[in-house]
Structure 1
């Protein structure tokens, strides 16, 4: 389980195309610019779909060196996201853990980033992604677990996406009832890391705009696009996380 390079390696585990840009785009771009190896796993949608193409375009805007890895499950609310595939939240969990462990052992990330345990706002696919990432990070380090999937790898730290309650309070007056943007948020005292991504907001906005299908469909994305400039800047310029170290000292996100 020894390290193999001097650069930080981070793996972002997201449920859907657009989540990576909306919630972690600045962090991803900042890491990539610093020379870190940044990888993305997207749990739903498949190659050949419109939203996969949009995801690839967004990843380029975030300066990722490799294309997103697609686990190939169906979005729980959009069966056509992966025709014939099982819904992400209904597929056998052990199968999913093994699939992600294989990527963890191959990519050897020091850091894994995903949603908090509530999926930020209760989306079942987000909650499931959190459970999957946590279970796979634990399993990847156990030599007896599927040795056929590669040498064991110990992730150093897990980071869970959240949003401060103060930010939610400022955004709420501008959100529609149909919006899925977070409705509660996390108290500042519980937030472990706030990443200033102000210098990456340009590529973050361009990445979000790559998701044209979701921009046209989603009430949340429409709310984001319609935010007044001060509130939109507030939403864009920082990204907040909870931190859980899996080894003493862990690994710094930025």
Structure 2
């Protein structure tokens, strides 16, 4: 086995762009610090909405070539962040983007007609077996993936959570599938989240700037959706600092999914530290090693 860097981080995400929105600054920071950063993306995001009018023909209900296009967007975003090891679960296109609908409660849900090759319908063990050899190859000390709600209920996010969690357990068992590599136990597992105080402050700034559509229906002073975590339950906060510009550029690289006009992005560029500068995490496996502020500022803290 070739020499591995001392610190190794694995991220498991559902679609291209999820990684940048949730963890772009974190990824850029650890690459810059010499850590091994590996991204596994579970689908090509074929069912995504196309926000670029001249590329509307790529949509799933037209030429259905959006997934192939998003491979290029992801590569461009990873180049901005400096990530050289990015892979698709089981290979590009093995698992199809499930798509989503909004249910009566206003939450993301599974569409009524899901294709048999959709990620949501994938056999959990089979999909986990596509991730186990990656874990055993790169031997990460830290895994980042979604919580049990997939942040906001998207079926592919929920499935990514299940696959990553199951694969992490299987990869650690010496008796499980020796043909998939030598057993490796991941020491710390984190779920990305948004701290409540940060969210409320960001929402106030957006509303004051005239943006009433981003996070529509959420009152800065009202109840928060499940993806927002009370500050007391946040274990680690990574500040974007000098990596904020890289995150913004990586977001722009996902052009079919993230629009760069309107008050949201204008505000992000002007006061990005408030909107995107903090990436918060909940520790769900391992022992926290908080700093003087009461939270960790390093995913590898204590290792």
Tell me the TM-score normalized by structure 2. Answer: 0.71
RMSD over aligned CA atoms reads 3.1
Q: Does 1:65 align with 2:84?
A: yes
Please state if 1:208 is matched with 2:251. Answer: yes
Q: Which has the larger radius of gyration?
A: 2
**Is structure 2 residue 219 aligned with structure 1 residue 176?**
no
Judging changes above 3 Å, is the alpha-carbon distance between structure 1 residues 228 and 105 closer, same or farther for their aligned structure 2 residues?
A: closer
Change (3 A) 1:124 1:245: same
TM-superposed CA distance for 1:145, in Å, is 1.4
The one of 284, 298, 301 equivalent to 1:244 is: 284
1:103-118 alignment, distance < 5 Å: 103-118=134-149
In the alignment, does 2:71 pair up with 1:52?
yes
Structure 2 residue runs of 5 or longer lacking an equivalent are 46-65, 101-114, 219-223, 290-295
**Partner residue of 1:81?**
none
What's the offset of the Cα at 1:164? 0.8
Q: Is the 8 A contact 1:58 1:208 kept in 2?
A: yes
For residue 139 of structure 1, what is the aligned residue in structure 2?
170
Greater helix content: 1
For residues 109-130 of structure 1, the C-alpha deviation after alignment (integer angstroms, 9 at most, x for no partner) is 1111012222222222112211
Distance 1:192 1:175, change over 3 A: farther
- Please state how far the C-alpha of 1:233 moved relative to its aligned partner: 3.1
Residue 131 of structure 2 corresponds to 100
Q: Is the 8 A contact 2:39 2:87 kept in 1?
A: yes
The runs of 5 or more residues in structure 1 that have no matched partner are 79-83
- 1:253 corresponds to which residue? 299
Measured against aligned partners, the alpha-carbon deviations of 1:60-90 in whole angstroms (never above 9, x if no partner) come to 1111122333443111118xxxxx8711111
Secondary structure of the structure 1 residue equivalent to 2:174: coil
Aligned to 2:98: 76
The residue number in structure 2 matching 1:166 is 197
Say which SS state the counterpart of residue 225 (structure 1) adopts: helix
Q: Following the alignment from structure 2 to structure 1, what is the Cα–Cα distance between the partners of residues 80 and 192?
A: 21
Residue-pair matches, total:
244
TM-score, length basis structure 1: 0.84
Task: Tell me, in whole angstroms, the C-alpha distance in 2 between the residues paired with 1:76 and 1:226.
Answer: 31
Q: Does the 8 Å contact 1:59/1:68 carry over to 2?
A: no
Seen in structure 2, the aligned counterparts of structure 1 residues 149 and 29 have a Cα distance that, compared at 3 Å, is same
* CA distance, structure 1, for counterparts of residue 135 and residue 263 of structure 2: 35
Say if 1:209 and 1:215, in contact at 8 Å, map to a contact too. Answer: yes
Q: Which stretch shifts more, 30-39 or 110-119?
A: 110-119
